Chain A
């Protein structure tokens, strides 16, 4: 018993000292710069070091694979099959031309071989389609020392395993507690700060304080995720009375954008911690929160948004028109609701670099807490944000065309694939109207435009 006592106090002392050191580090290197919006450049250095280590790791794995005369499995994000981008008409004509010796004129008719087109197209989609792969995390070409992204387990040498183990230690025992402490600080400061600001009378001072409280807390949260963000074209940042539109990959998008600008948020009222945060935030400045029942009523939503943007003193609204999280390799259909209200749209493109940590939230696989844990045990979240020049709806454009125009601009800037498919396909089946289009195209080929009756 007596032997344990001095040992005990030694442990307690050590614990006390390390905690103090941790908190001093936190304060000096992270929170204080966050308050003033400056940066020491520690994160950039960290990123460079990591890249070098990853390149080395992949080299070792390739060497290991070569020794066994195998090839490393490298995932292809752009599809695993060779495709020809031809139209239905061209393809079927090709097929008919190759099959018959008759001179091909344009009389509509049916050939037994026509079925080959639909058959092959169908098989191609089974092997590889544009949509299914957008709802799971993007695959990396080189390994980043996280077990969750490894596809070539059997080629890892002892040295790599040791390195990986070291990585696990650093991530879970050093980075994770640090990040959790920061997140806790950030969120509590947000709640407390906005509630306090809410007690002030409305005016310039309140606005000023509110803006800075919001920015400061988001910056702390950014550091809680070790997010390394590069902003481009900040002169195009959204202004009051506008709508900020961005592609959606995860809830973290909000933190990333809001740490560089002061926005009004739109969303459903949640319960629990989220609800507490929402209620506190709305005391300091007007956000647009909807009750669950109101969300279904599109007219009500449109009305409230319109009222908000028409008031020039109110902040730009931050909105994600895809409606669901996509894995950041493509942009899916934008819901036209936000494009109907007639405000100036400020498009923003967000592209994450999955090498350091994949930010995509696969909501069918992970709940929010698991997701946050995964984020906080990755190396870092690295992304680029581009502020695109503002766009307005032109006279001869309807909401859908406008939405598609904005979507293409965002896809082009972010280097993402521009898809017409609806992100809702994650959970629902596709509408039959698309099938009818195909059927229409094909009918023209076999009966023409109701002109040619077939000869007997």
Chain B
């Protein structure tokens, strides 16, 4: 029993999080509410199992990879600030003049570069800054399951790496990745709008 209020005093370091992620106070409250709903036994942090309980995420072919992105560097727990930091990548980009932005401030988490970097990391499992042919195959296998044969998948992986690879090292670096997606409306496709 007892109330489950989500006002700002309950969120640790709310101001710091707001500055870092750019979320409004209202959005932060909603995300905190969601965090506490996912945290089944009120531990104060989320574990992998908490996220795996989400049915709609478990049926997503890349579900496990997405969950992994919340637990970098071998962590087994993610607290609220870590949670929000990842979600901040998907904050819609506001219309602002890039020239106006203070160059001393770190790049906002939801910039185009950071969104692309997030997607790149879903491919680049070993975090070596390059998507090798093997890593490409692994992601493809996740997305198609048993529906496609090994040869078909290999030729798709080969072709994709060849098309994107410019310096001929047989892998796709982050720069090559961004170049092949330069026309893509990343800002819109990798954004989730939280209702006010």
Contacts and interface: CB of A to CB of B under 8 A. Distances in A.
Contact of B90 (A123, A147, A154, A456): A123
A441 B140 CA distance: 14
Interface string A111-138: 1111111111111111111111100100
B66 A126 contact: yes
B66 A123 contact: yes
Given A71-B26, A98-B185, A151 B62 contact: no
Contact of A132 (B1, B7, B53, B59): B53
Contacts of A154: 7, 9
27 contacts: A79-B195, A95-B184, A98-B183, A99-B181, A110-B159, A112-B180, A116-B190, A119-B122, A123-B90, A125-B54, A127-B192, A129-B57, A131-B56, A132-B53, A147-B3, A151-B3, A425-B53, A430-B59, A435-B63, A436-B146, A438-B60, A439-B61, A439-B143, A439-B145, A442-B61, A443-B144, A447-B156
Interface string A33-45: 0000000000000
B34 A127 contact: yes
A454 B156 contact: yes
A133 B189 CA distance: 26
Interface in B117-163: 118-119, 122-123, 139-140, 143-148, 152, 155-156, 158-160
In which size bucket is the chain B interface?
Answer: 35 or more
Given A118-B143, A120-B190, A80 B3 contact: no
Contacts of B123: 115
B14 interface: no
B3 A75 contact: no
Contacts of B33: 73, 75
A8 B58 CA distance: 67
A126 B118 contact: no
Contacts of A99: 181, 183-185
Nearest to B186: A116
B155 A454 contact: yes
Given A126-B54, A454-B155, A98 B189 contact: yes
A158 to B, nearest CB: 18
A443 B148 contact: yes
Nearest to B185: A98
Interface in B22-78: 26, 29-31, 33-34, 37-38, 40, 51-63, 66
Interface of B: 1-7, 9, 26, 29-31, 33-34, 37-38, 40, 51-63, 66, 87, 90, 118-119, 122-123, 139-140, 143-148, 152, 155-156, 158-160, 164, 172, 177, 180-181, 183-186, 188-195
Contacts of A439: 61, 143-147
Contact of B143 (A98, A128, A147, A442): A442
Given A99-B183, A154-B7, A439-B144, A133 B37 contact: yes
Interface in A363-394: 364, 370, 374
Contacts of A124: 192
Nearest to A78: B195
A145 to B, nearest CB: 12
A442 B156 CA distance: 14
A81 interface: yes
A128 B87 CA distance: 12
Contacts of A430: 55, 58-59
Contacts of A395: none
A136 B37 contact: yes
B159 to A, nearest CB: 6
Interface in A199-242: none
Contacts of A421: 55
A429 interface: yes
Contacts, number: 203
Given A81-B194, A112-B177, A126 B57 contact: yes
A97 to B, nearest CB: 10
B60 A118 contact: yes
A132 B54 contact: yes
Given A112-B160, A125-B60, A446-B156, A76 B195 contact: yes
A128 B60 CA distance: 14
Nearest to A96: B184
B195 A81 contact: yes
A7 interface: no
Contacts of B152: 447, 453-454
B29 A123 contact: no
Contacts of A113: 181, 184, 189
A110 B160 contact: yes
A434 interface: yes
A101 interface: yes
Contacts of B148: 443, 446-447
Contacts of B193: 81-82
Interface in A137-164: 147-154
Nearest to A364: B40
A100 interface: yes
Given A110-B160, A111-B160, A434-B59, 19 more contacts: A73-B5, A80-B194, A99-B181, A99-B184, A113-B184, A115-B62, A119-B118, A120-B90, A129-B55, A132-B37, A147-B2, A150-B3, A151-B5, A425-B55, A438-B60, A442-B143, A453-B152, A454-B156, A456-B159
Contacts of A123: 66, 87, 90, 192
Nearest to A116: B189
A303 interface: no
A426 to B, nearest CB: 9
A291 B172 CA distance: 62
A455 to B, nearest CB: 8
A-B residue pairs, 7 tightest by C-beta: A99-B184, A439-B145, A443-B147, A122-B66, A125-B56, A434-B59, A430-B55
